A and B are shown apart, each in its own frame.
Chain A
Amino acid sequence: MSDTGLVLKDVYRVFPGDITAVSDVNLEIENGEYIVFLGPSGCGKTTTLRLIGGHDDPSSGTITIDGELLNGVSPAQRPVTTVFQHYALFPHKSVLQNVEFGLKMQGMDKTAREQQATAAIELVGLSAMMHRKPRELSGGQQQRVALARVLVTRPKAILLDEPLGDLDRLLQMKMRVELRGLQRELGITFIHVTHNQEEALSMADRIVVMGDAIIQQVGTPTELARHPRNEFVAKFMGDNNVLHGTIESASGGNVVINTPHGKVEVPGSGTAGEKGSMAIRASAVNISTDAVPAVNGVRVRLDFVEYLGDSIKLHLDFNGEPFLAKVDEERFGEVQAYEGKEVTATWSVEDGHLLEQ
């Protein structure tokens, strides 16, 4: 076990009535990392965050930070602080009073704590709002106050529960960059919980995908986007086509799987006769008017076209099942496809990706 950073070892949380919220979580987070817990609601990501923050206790397993055991330590005594989902600012206190609260609780004298709080407020760009009450601020500004309020206590890690969930989309984009910049500047570990994969991909050093109370995969945004480990991750990360079938043969580092979508060849190994699943990213799928090839190709009907600005997402239909492709405008123009038209979707062997069963 590493003695720097935050380490979760064999962590379980079982609620009364035998409801397992978190199961078999093993994770090492290095100091200064930006970690995003990603998953659908009810997957255990918020419970895990609460376990780290000390707002809930694990049923078994240990949580340590820099080698120091956190189990049983009250939230107040932990060197980690939480930014709560709806900010949880003190409505009766001004911005300055909110931010200096943690220092006041530490017993710091008034001059020193006001000085540090002022610096933190400056850091999040709210100097002009110092004496306002939270309700006089916009959602984005409240979010920054919540951030300044935890930054000022200099925790080893900051836990953020859906920090951008209350903001409109444009502000979300802006805050993503700001949060990330702030984290780099301070070098503090940020652990961020979200159900938004786009947010996770754009902010994280590493993403922890959770589903059904367990960690499904841990990896960098690129790893998760390119190499989802299983069907859950492939589907949750979005824009992946998942095909199931039976392995027909394996040779030369590739396997051929017999699927309802025809034969597909993907890099990997397996035993003939066993079940096999593969994922293919929508952006790796090409469309044409050519005939369907022997492997890695399906005849599909164009259901509808979604313009994404820089690319075009095609919602295709294969015998009633959805199939996704993402192409650039030029390619789309060449095919001269229209909604209802039949086209051929193909991809190359190396873009396919074998999934764990």
Chain B
Amino acid sequence: MGGSSAVVATTGPRRSPLTTVAWILPGTIWLLLFLIAPLVMIILVSLWERTPVGFAAFSFSLDAYGRIFETSVFLDTLKNTIFRSLLVTALCILIGYPIAFYLARCVKTIKFQIALFIVVLAPFWVAYVVRIIAWLPVLGRQGVINYFLVEVLGVVDEPISALFYSTFAITLALVQLYVLFMVTPIFFQLATLDEAAIEAARDLGATPGKVFREVIFPLSLPGVLIGCIFVFVLVMGEFATVRIIGGGTIQSVGTLVNDYYTIPDLPAAAAAATMLVAVMTVGVAILLRFSKIREVV
């Protein structure tokens, strides 16, 4: 099947080189302006020297990297951020997969499927910061959980403030924010599975559990992988959620960059950002390598 499409592609009419360039140009310009240029800028700034108001351009040194690695703060924060990203990604799989599975394979009619999918997407209609702050009435000192603990159950005397300003709360909020990035690709992967392969598995004697383990799950892995990349990368770069829910007591690489920026130590901020991008790139590379995505799809 794959072979025939390749044949079709090569027997099409030959395009002039100019047409090819015209096709590639818009995307290339976009990438250059909004991805490559900022990245190059950040790396350059990280290599320049710090001045009281900003940086001295074209004064190359590795001092900024020296400064961020001077104490263990940056490295510890980086480790915590990686750990948090992995944890949130794992939780998103655990929560997101069943949702996607239900939507794609248990809901029978397309109409109902789309309706439910829109409901799942509903949180996206609410502004990002509002979604974060919405946790206050739940987890805050006067929130629902504390009310139950103190007034209804009476298991604690004082409301627990750590409920909100904690890594637990941050993890919870991040999962809630990003689980949709996991649900969506898995949903589409599951919804477009080759039904005949599933029917064949059943025909060959597979029980529903075995059909899932042997056929459906392995074939849905590309969706899981794409979801993992989304969630991992987004949580690695998280800044606002950590700042608001962490209340300044908990750091991520994102909040650290912001801190360096306000000192102001722009080269250090750039150096921290460069490190973040490097770690994310390595992380995604490991994910792709580890999963051998090309063999699955």
Contact = CB atoms under 8 A, between A and B. Distances in A.
A91 B199 contact: no
Given A90-B215, A135-B2, A105 B196 contact: no
Interface in A87-145: 88-92, 101-102, 104-106, 133, 135, 138-139
A85 B197 CA distance: 11
A85 B205 contact: no
Contacts of B214: 90, 101, 104
Contacts of A88: 194, 196-197, 199-200
A153 B204 contact: yes
A149 B196 contact: no
A75 interface: yes
A138 B3 CA distance: 8
B203 A76 contact: yes
A56 B219 CA distance: 25
A134 to B, nearest CB: 9
Q: Classify chain B's interface size.
A: 20 to 34
A91 B207 CA distance: 19
B157 interface: no
B205 A102 contact: yes
A191 to B, nearest CB: 14
A76 B202 CA distance: 6
B200 A76 contact: no
Q: SS class of chain B's interface: helix, strand, loop or mixed?
A: helix
A104 B201 CA distance: 11
B122 interface: no
Interface in B176-217: 194, 196-197, 199-207, 210, 214-215
Interface residues of A, number: 29
Contacts of B8: none
A91 B196 contact: no
A92 B199 contact: no
B196 A84 contact: yes
B1 interface: yes
B295 A133 contact: yes
A242 to B, nearest CB: 38
A55 interface: yes
Q: Which of A53, A86, A88 has the most CB of B within 10 A?
A: A88
Contacts of B154: none
Interface string A57-90: 0000000000000000011110001101110111
B128 to A, nearest CB: 37
B123 interface: no
A135 B205 contact: no
Interface string A27-62: 000000000000000000000000001110000000
Contact of A153 (B199, B205, B218): B205
B199 A55 contact: yes
A102 B205 CA distance: 6
B296 interface: yes
A121 to B, nearest CB: 16
A86 B3 CA distance: 15
Interface in A125-174: 133, 135, 138-139, 149-150, 153
B1 A149 contact: no
B297 to A, nearest CB: 8
21 contacts: A54-B203, A55-B199, A55-B203, A76-B203, A76-B204, A76-B206, A81-B204, A84-B196, A84-B200, A88-B199, A91-B194, A92-B296, A101-B206, A105-B205, A105-B206, A105-B207, A105-B210, A133-B295, A135-B2, A139-B1, A150-B204
